[in-house]
Structure 1
C-alpha cells in the first residue's frame, strides 16, 4: 500500500492515541478522515495537521445515524478506488469493583469498545473491499493481563482481540488484512483524569461496599496511574499504526510500548504465581484475610 493519496479513517481521534495517529498519518501523506464527537476537536485537528490532508468526521461510534453519514461522506470522497485503511481506536475505560458496577455502565463499556467497533467495521467494509484496504484494531495488553477493578475494560479488550482474530480469517480471501495492536502503558490525557475519577467511583458505591473496597481500589489506582504516567507517549502507538498500514507483510499482532513485552511474558506465568504477582503489585489483601469468621 502506498502512502500517496491513501485514504484512512481513524475513530476516536479527538485526543490521545487517536489524535496522535490521525496527525502521524496525515503527515505521512494519508488523507485522514478523523472521527470526533465535537466540532471543536475536529477544527483543532485540522489546524494541527497543517498542510496534511485531514477531514474531520462527526462520529459517535454508538450512533447509527452518525455512522451512516460518515460512511456516505467517505464514499463520496474515495469513489471507486475505495478505502485504504480503517483504524478502530474509539474506546472508553471503566474501573470499579465488579460486585458494584451497574449493568448499564458495563453495557456502555461494551457499546463503545466492542459493538461500536463492529458497527464501524461493517459500515466501511464495502469501501475497504474495493481497495483492498487494511483494518488496524487498537486493543490492549489488558486483554492478556486483567487487573483488579479493571475487569470491565479487560473483558471488552479481550472481546476486541477475539473479533480481530476472527475478522482476519474471514476477510483474508479479499486480501483485507486485519492487524491487532496491543499497547501497554501509554501516557495520555485520560491518565490525568483518572485521579479525579477515583473519588467519584468510590462516592457512587453503597456505603457497605465502599467500606469493603475503598482501600484496595485506591491502592490499585495509585499503582496503575504511576505505571501509565511512566508509559510511552501516544506517538509510539501512532508509529505502530503506520507500520501496520504500510508494511508489505504486517504481523497479525503488535505489542506496543516499552513495557509491553515484559507484561506479555508475565501474563504467561502459571495462574497461582500470576495471581500472587498481581496481589503484590496492586497491594491487595492476602487471600482469606478479610473472610467472615
Structure 2
C-alpha cells in the first residue's frame, strides 16, 4: 500500500519508535492521527507536521473510553479530509523489571505491577485494533483488494527475555503469537498484519536503563555495537506498509543481538 493520501493511526506516537514512524509516513504523503499521553509533545509534533495532515488525541491505551474517543475523532477527521484509514501502528508500550517472587523477601510481586504492563502492551494493543478495524473494513479497497495494514510492536524479549522480564516478555510474546491468526482473520478484508520485534533501541523506555544494564547489553551485541535508531525501525515499518507480501509475520530487527541470561 502506498501511504500517500491515507491516514495512519499511531499510538505511542509522540516519542521513540512511534514518532519516527509517524515522521516517515508523513514524509511519504500520509496524514497522521497521533495518539499519546503527552499532550505537550503532541501539540509540538502537530505544529511540526502541519495541522492539515496531523492531529493529536490524548490517549491512555489502558482505558477503553480513551481509545474510543480518539478513534471517533480520527474517523470524523477522515470524513473531512477524504483520506481513508490506511493502517494502524500500535507503538504504545511500557517496560518492567520485576520477578514474580522477590528474592529478598520471598513475597510475590503485586498483581497491579503485572496488570500495568499487560494492560498497556497487550490489552491496549488489542483494544486499539478492535476499535479501528470497523472503520478500516468499510474503506474502498485498492485495485488489488488491499484496505490497509496493522503494524504491531513486539520485542526481542519475546524470544530471549531476561530475568525480571516475565510480564514484559509475556506481553510481547503474546503480540508475536497473535500476528498470524490476526492476519488470517483479516485476510478476507484485504488487511495485513505485521509485527516488528526490536532489540535495544533508543527510546524513552530504554533511556531509563541503568548504566550497568546498558553496558551488559552492549557486550552481547554483534554488529552494529550500538542501540538501534528509531529511524531504522521506521524504515522497516515503511517496508511493512508498502510491501504487500509482508503479512502474518514477525520480523526481528536486532543486529543479531541475543539478550543475556545474566547482567
TM-score by length of 1: 0.76
Higher CA-based Rg: 1
Greater shift in the superposed pair: 109-118 or 42-51 = 42-51
Cα displacement (A) at 1:257? 3.6
Residue by residue over 1:248-291, the C-alpha shift from the partner in whole angstroms, topping out at 9 and shown as x without a partner, is: 322422222423xx53xx9xxxxxxxxxxx44xx25xxxxxxxx
The CA RMSD over aligned residues, in Å, is: 2.4
Instruction: Assess, with a 3 A threshold, how the Cα gap between structure 1 residues 227 and 57 changes in structure 2: closer, same or farther.
Output: farther
In the other structure, the counterpart of 2:144 is none
Count of residues paired in the alignment: 244
1:147 is the counterpart of 2:144: no
Alpha-carbon distance between aligned partners in 1 of 2:234 and 2:245, rounded to the nearest angstrom:
18
Alpha-carbon distance between aligned partners in 2 of 1:255 and 1:174, rounded to the nearest angstrom:
26
Instruction: Assess, with a 3 A threshold, how the Cα gap between structure 1 residues 232 and 52 changes in structure 2: closer, same or farther.
Output: farther
Runs of at least 4 residues off by over 6 Å: 225-229
1:13 is the counterpart of 2:13: yes
3-state SS in 2 of match to 1:32: strand
> More helix by proportion, 1 or 2?
1
3-state SS in 2 of match to 1:189: coil
1:133 is the counterpart of 2:148: yes
1:89 is the counterpart of 2:91: yes
Higher relative contact order (CA 8 A, sep 6+): 2
8 Å Cα contact 2:179/2:250 also seen in 1? no
Where structure 1 has 5 or more consecutive residues not aligned to the other structure, the ranges are: 197-218, 267-277, 284-293
Cα displacement (A) at 1:50? 5.2
8 Å Cα contact 1:187/1:230 also seen in 2? no
Cα displacement (A) at 1:48? 3.1
Where structure 2 has 5 or more consecutive residues not aligned to the other structure, the ranges are: 103-108, 140-146
Q: From 244, 247, 250, give the equivalent of 1:248.
A: 244
In the other structure, the counterpart of 1:216 is none
3-state SS in 1 of match to 2:150: strand
